[in-house]
Amino acid sequence: MNRLLLYLMVFLISGCYTSKSALQPTYNKGGFILNKYNSKALTIADSIVIVGKISALNKKAMLVAPTIKYGCISQRADSGGYLIKTKAADIKLQLSATAVGYLAVETEPLITQIGDSIVVNFYLTPDERPLLNCEGNIK
């Protein structure tokens, strides 16, 4: 977690703020907030960084096994926070956040460039669909 804060401080000090978003709704009641920065340090390193947190929309519930996925990179978000450092993609890729018992939230496809520092905070809503009861014999 300290490493995450260090990265954020470096990018905020050496970067330029480019856009800000309010809570963006998705196909369920959850949503995300996306902020994009450009960092000179990341441009030199030829990479991008995506950081943020995954939490419940009501903020009271603890999430079980929150996971973030960006393209083919999948990572468990320990303590709700995540950090992905990778190369910029030539194609648009989505971020997707999930947790056990919660509906997934996906961003719109992102265009990334070398030097981007993207902060995405996800807010998940409980999955209220009933669980299937598969007791008995199938004939």
What's the token pair of residue 35?
């902020």
* Strand partners for 83: 51
For residue 38, pLDDT beyond 90: no
CATH class of the 2-124 domain in this structure: mainly beta
- Report helix, strand or coil for 121: strand
Averaged pLDDT score across all residues of the chain:
79
Q: How far is CA 61 from the centre of its chain?
A: 18
Residue 116 has pLDDT above 60, yes or no: yes
Mean pLDDT of 100-123: 89
Residue from 51, 33, 30 nearest 99 by CA: 30
pLDDT band at 98 (very low <50, low <70, confident <90, very high): very high
The predicted pLDDT at position 13 comes to: 45
Q: Where are the domains of the chain?
A: 2-124
Asked which of 50-54, 103-107, 127-131, 134-138 is least confident by mean pLDDT, the reply is 134-138
